[in-house]
Structure 1
Amino acid sequence: MSDELIFADEVHPTEQAPTAVRPWKILIVDDDEEVHSITKLALRNFTFDDRPLTFLHAYSGKEGIDTLQQNPDVAVCLLDVVMETEHAGLDTANAIRSDLKNGFVRIVLRTGQPGQAPEETIIAEYDINDYKEKTELTRGKLHTLIYSCLRSYRDIIALDRSRQGLERILESSTQLQQKTYLKDFAKGILEQITAILSPEEDAFYAKNDGVAAFEHSGELKVIAGTGEFADKESENAYQIIPAECREIIDDEEPGFKSKMTSAGFICMYRSSEEHTGLLFMRELKTRNELENHLLQMFCRNALTAFENISLRTLLEESQREIVYLLGDAVEHRSKETGYHLKRVSEISFVLATKCGLSQETARSIREAAPLHDLGKIAIPDSILNKPAKLDAEEWEVMKSHSEVGYEMLHSSDKPLLKLGAEIARDHHERWDGTGYPAGKKGDEIGIAGRITAIADVFDALCSRRVYKSPWDMKRVEEYFQLQRGLHFDPDLVDLLFEHLDEFIEIQQNYPDPE
């Protein structure tokens, strides 16, 4: 029997019109030029899912491997068994799966000498998808074969993209959870959206112009923006978003809603009348149901987390405001008004950063520093505001404010208040061990207390008080150099004056009223 392929008469091929649709790649690996030509002729007008075919050609097993290495998205490989060697095709099939790690391409072995490679043996021992004798591949059967292979390849790729998409959602969610501050989290959502969907060239492209907004007590404000919206923070989101997308915002029903419009993609999660999270991405488009499903899934989960962090941020802001109010009440009792607490907080933050503490720890010290003198609330006015020097008995009462502040705060389970308790207790300790209340020495004194002590004294010396005028910076520096290693941590004193310009700037940014 001849190996020649015979097809019914067909109309002469015509040139296929150019198309923007990405074609399916078919790789023909065969040392017979005529097999290449006949295969192309038989499949010349073939389409699947409205996508045509494009053919790649290799004439040996090695050429086939090289071609697949350069084109990992080949859908079907029509592979001859006997080429440069009697088992070149088998070696190539094995290399595709083992060396190239390509489990997606559908491999069809074709042979004109079936006795040399029995079908039962080949199917059992090699990871191929079909085995055909060249004589049985008429035009009709070749079409059936390619339909079957492409359908299988399409479904496998869809499953893999779904897996990759879910992995990207998990990875993005993990990255987002590392962002504990609302603005960082909101911006992270916008940046991750374009990474969630398939990055392949035939998936989707979108300019990363987006808005993340949160509504609290009836005001929908932009928390973060990217691209053209990067400078819109704190603006009214309703005024920024295109009119065709506002229908979702006007819908007061609770739950998750989304809409794809010509202007872009908008989604919103409303949990109550006062709490709403919103995302808008200009010109965002999805190509298929899988991408749309991944986008919906990510945004729904991200907005739920966005609300949780928003509410936590509001709670933390309320906690910080209470801390300032408590500290400010003490300052007013001792007739020290103005921005002393704000300056001490900011100086403590910068100093904490300069000495190598993490941003999170530095921020915690900044927020707890206003509580350093909370214990003075228990000191009688006659002592607290006495214009003359305190006698020995009065001084003992005054010193007790450190322990009183600690006792007021340390039993709380809130990290901010616990840190405030440590600062209240330690900020009057001295590096040489002569301070109070416990006479701690050196590193025995908590770093937060050491930092706040320097910030408090530095600001007090630089500021006007009822009993003194502000000192000039030369006098302040002389005092700190004198107390370096006695009252204050010497390394922190060095950092204070290495970066003196930054601390002077804080003084200038928060001046006391005249």
Structure 2
Amino acid sequence: MTHKIPPLEDHKFDLDFLSKDSKPIAHLKKTYKIIIADDDEDIHTLTELLLKDFVFEDEGLFFIHTYSADETIRNMDRHPDAAVILLDVVMEEMDSGLKVIDYIRKVQKNRLIRIVLRTGQPGYAPEENLIRDYDINDYKLKTELTKQKMYTTLYACLRSYRDLMHIERNKSSLEELVKISGDLFKKKSLIDFLESIFIQISIFQKYTLHLMPNSKIEKNGLIFTANGIILIGIGKFKIYETHLIDEIKGLIGIEDVLHELPETNKNVIYLKKGLLFYNKGISSLRDYVYIELDKERYDKALIELLINNYALALENYQLNELLVKSHEDVIFTLTETIERHSNETSNHVKRVSVFMKLLAKHYDVPESEWDLLRISSVLHDIGKIGIPDSILKKPGKLSYQEFEIIKTHTEIGYRILGTNNHPIFEKAADIAYYHHEKFDGTGYPLGLSGTNIPLYARMMAIIDVFDALVSKRCYKEAIPIDEVFKIMRSESGKHFDPILLGLFLNEKEAIIKVLEEYVD
């Protein structure tokens, strides 16, 4: 159906610039997508002609032309970020435009696009009924198709669209921030912590209201101590790990900023090329995070909210690290004392702990368990504290009765460790109790076999025997490593879990490195 085009105002227009695929105004970097849905070619031409110089907040228009309800619906699926649709009521059918409205609002659930319904037959589609019954934003007669009317309509629609997009993006950003906050305290390392900042900070980029950002964030950042020592770096700062912050040319003078922080009462400071933040809690644990970014690309309020959460998470991480380190120091001191008392060196427990983590990495042990296992493994012989020195330090072979007594160290160790429900001690209790079980069922204290023996105890069985064979004891000399490997392989499936044993012995180079580092 065609419609009579209203007379143009007293303007002279050059129609040669128009084409099917219109181009945005050359000097404008961004454009709003405008869908013109009408079955009259002249309406398309005139609408685009009237709006050819239209600019809203330094952004132009990009026109998408459709001529039927089906074509319009297909283009709505292709361009869900369209800002405005100028929609004819009557196209291939009398209610084509109304079907498009229902699709946009009810099927697509697109509440953001502004719908301007246009008609040349107001009697068929009364304005009052359409405004009341359909979720549209404006209603225009085609007789109102003038430059002034079009500009007024587009300004109103785009302002509304802009404000709705701001609300929607702020809502989405805040929802994302809530999700992020729940994950922050799960970070297990400083590099994991730093990497996550860049993943999350991208959410809060500023971008045009209708186009998602197409540029990637460069990950350049670092964490350094109050003394200026760089702990972790990513991107171009990776090479500066363990260096001083003042060695980085672009960051020279950053320590001057640190002295000013207490006076500003802020924990987020914007620098020339990025931002700096830190936790404001315990100064003795304070670390600083520098993130390189283009400040103009981000919503400052949301970034500061995100960074404040990260500052809390950083403090939580530091306190947790301090607690773990304290536990580790106490445990290693205790076990080293016990080993020395039983005429074994303190390096035995250090080697055992490193070997356990090495084996855990090559087996199906979650990474989150590696360090817990490393620490808990050193308590495997804590039960020896309950064995008389006359037996524990005996240089010769033990009698049957003496061996029966020394076997009780597994039960003593379990009783000591089993009363504490901390993950370190729970694992240590099982390792202490079961690490003398053998894969073929001939071990003690319960004679368990195969996979009935807890995994970590099967791992310890391999490592404890290996270290005993390669080390000098009061009752024997150290055995050369190649011979030890032969002995261990001969016990595959007997004393040791064959799969775990194979994984451990395959790491010969790493094993030798540990033995060289922790020499008795």
Q: TM-score range by the shorter chain?
A: 0.7 to 0.9
Partner amino acid, structure 2, of 1:318: S
Pick the aligned partner of 1:49 from 44, 50, 57: 57
Pick the aligned partner of 2:471 from 444, 463, 469: 463
> Shift in Å at residue 508 of structure 1?
4.3
Kindly tell me: are residues 293 and 5 of structure 1, through their superposed partners in 2, closer, same or farther at Cα, counting changes over 3 Å? farther
> Shift in Å at residue 158 of structure 1?
1.0
User: What is the distance in 2 between the residues matched to 1:115 and 1:154?
Assistant: 33
User: What is the distance in 2 between the residues matched to 1:484 and 1:455?
Assistant: 13
CA contact (8 A) 2:396 2:475 kept: no
Tell which deviates more after alignment, 482-491 or 180-189. 482-491
Pair 1:405-2:405 in alignment: no
Tell which deviates more after alignment, 127-136 or 348-357. 348-357
> Shift in Å at residue 109 of structure 1?
0.9
CA contact (8 A) 2:268 2:307 kept: no
Q: Who is 1:276 aligned against?
A: 286
Pick the aligned partner of 1:301 from 302, 306, 309: 309
> Shift in Å at residue 300 of structure 1?
1.0
Kindly tell me: are residues 38 and 443 of structure 1, through their superposed partners in 2, closer, same or farther at Cα, counting changes over 3 Å? closer
Kindly tell me: are residues 160 and 197 of structure 1, through their superposed partners in 2, closer, same or farther at Cα, counting changes over 3 Å? same
Kindly tell me: are residues 196 and 327 of structure 1, through their superposed partners in 2, closer, same or farther at Cα, counting changes over 3 Å? farther
Kindly tell me: are residues 233 and 360 of structure 1, through their superposed partners in 2, closer, same or farther at Cα, counting changes over 3 Å? same
Partner amino acid, structure 2, of 1:5: P
User: What is the distance in 2 between the residues matched to 1:27 and 1:17?
Assistant: 17
Q: How many residues align?
A: 507
Kindly tell me: are residues 366 and 323 of structure 1, through their superposed partners in 2, closer, same or farther at Cα, counting changes over 3 Å? same
CA contact (8 A) 2:38 2:67 kept: yes
Paired residue secondary structure (2:240):
coil
Kindly tell me: are residues 275 and 177 of structure 1, through their superposed partners in 2, closer, same or farther at Cα, counting changes over 3 Å? closer
> Shift in Å at residue 167 of structure 1?
3.3
Tell which deviates more after alignment, 155-164 or 442-451. 442-451
Q: Who is 2:6 aligned against?
A: 5
Paired residue secondary structure (1:231):
helix
User: What is the distance in 2 between the residues matched to 1:392 and 1:399?
Assistant: 11
User: What is the distance in 1 between the residues matched to 2:345 and 2:156?
Assistant: 82
Kindly tell me: are residues 322 and 187 of structure 1, through their superposed partners in 2, closer, same or farther at Cα, counting changes over 3 Å? farther
User: What is the distance in 2 between the residues matched to 1:359 and 1:203?
Assistant: 35
1:316-327, aligned counterparts within 5 Å?
316-327=324-335
> Shift in Å at residue 466 of structure 1?
4.2
Q: Who is 1:377 aligned against?
A: 385
Paired residue secondary structure (1:115):
coil
Q: Who is 1:510 aligned against?
A: 517
Pair 1:78-2:86 in alignment: yes
> Shift in Å at residue 433 of structure 1?
4.7
Q: Who is 1:28 aligned against?
A: 36
Partner amino acid, structure 2, of 1:512: V
Output the TM-score relative to the length of structure 2: 0.85
Partner amino acid, structure 1, of 2:282: S
Paired residue secondary structure (2:267):
strand
Partner amino acid, structure 1, of 2:416: M
CA contact (8 A) 1:183 1:223 kept: no
Q: Who is 1:421 aligned against?
A: 429
Partner amino acid, structure 2, of 1:250: H
Kindly tell me: are residues 458 and 504 of structure 1, through their superposed partners in 2, closer, same or farther at Cα, counting changes over 3 Å? same
> Shift in Å at residue 198 of structure 1?
6.0
Q: Specify every segment of 5 or more residues in structure 1 that has no aligned partner in the other structure, as ranges.
A: none
User: What is the distance in 1 between the residues matched to 2:474 and 2:294?
Assistant: 62
Output the TM-score relative to the length of structure 1: 0.86
Q: Who is 1:501 aligned against?
A: 508
Paired residue secondary structure (1:166):
helix
Tell which deviates more after alignment, 144-153 or 358-367. 358-367
CA contact (8 A) 1:343 1:506 kept: no
Paired residue secondary structure (1:458):
helix
Q: Who is 1:341 aligned against?
A: 349
Pick the aligned partner of 1:251 from 247, 257, 260: 260
User: What is the distance in 2 between the residues matched to 1:86 and 1:321?
Assistant: 82
CA contact (8 A) 1:204 1:285 kept: no
Cα deviation, 1:154-174, whole Å, max 9, x if unaligned, reads 111111211222233244444
User: What is the distance in 1 between the residues matched to 2:301 and 2:14?
Assistant: 41
Deviating above 6 A after TM superposition, structure 1's stretches of 4 or more consecutive aligned residues are 11-17
User: What is the distance in 2 between the residues matched to 1:422 and 1:447?
Assistant: 10
Kindly tell me: are residues 405 and 349 of structure 1, through their superposed partners in 2, closer, same or farther at Cα, counting changes over 3 Å? same
Partner amino acid, structure 1, of 2:128: E
Q: Who is 1:183 aligned against?
A: 191
Pick the aligned partner of 2:276 from 263, 266, 290: 266
1:54-69, aligned counterparts within 5 Å?
54-69=62-77
1:62-461, aligned counterparts within 5 Å?
62-197=70-205, 203=213, 205=215, 207-213=217-223, 215=225, 218-237=226-245, 239-240=247-248, 242-243=251-252, 245-253=254-262, 256-287=266-297, 291-337=299-345, 339-461=347-469
Cα deviation, 1:375-394, whole Å, max 9, x if unaligned, reads 22343443322222234454
Partner amino acid, structure 2, of 1:269: N
Identity among equivalent pairs (%): 36
Paired residue secondary structure (2:295):
coil
User: What is the distance in 2 between the residues matched to 1:369 and 1:454?
Assistant: 12
Q: Specify every segment of 5 or more residues in structure 2 that has no aligned partner in the other structure, as ranges.
A: 18-23
> Shift in Å at residue 212 of structure 1?
4.0
User: What is the distance in 2 between the residues matched to 1:203 and 1:478?
Assistant: 61
Tell which deviates more after alignment, 418-427 or 89-98. 89-98
Kindly tell me: are residues 204 and 66 of structure 1, through their superposed partners in 2, closer, same or farther at Cα, counting changes over 3 Å? closer
Cα deviation, 1:313-365, whole Å, max 9, x if unaligned, reads 12112211222222211222223226322222222233344442323334322
User: What is the distance in 1 between the residues matched to 2:277 and 2:135?
Assistant: 45
Paired residue secondary structure (1:267):
strand
Partner amino acid, structure 2, of 1:209: K
CA contact (8 A) 1:24 1:51 kept: yes
Paired residue secondary structure (2:197):
helix
Partner amino acid, structure 2, of 1:283: L
Tell which deviates more after alignment, 3-12 or 422-431. 3-12
CA contact (8 A) 2:39 2:67 kept: yes
Kindly tell me: are residues 182 and 500 of structure 1, through their superposed partners in 2, closer, same or farther at Cα, counting changes over 3 Å? closer
Q: Who is 2:21 aligned against?
A: none
> Shift in Å at residue 133 of structure 1?
1.3
CA contact (8 A) 2:28 2:58 kept: no
User: What is the distance in 2 between the residues matched to 1:75 and 1:38?
Assistant: 20
> Shift in Å at residue 90 of structure 1?
2.3
CA contact (8 A) 2:395 2:474 kept: no
User: What is the distance in 2 between the residues matched to 1:362 and 1:231?
Assistant: 27
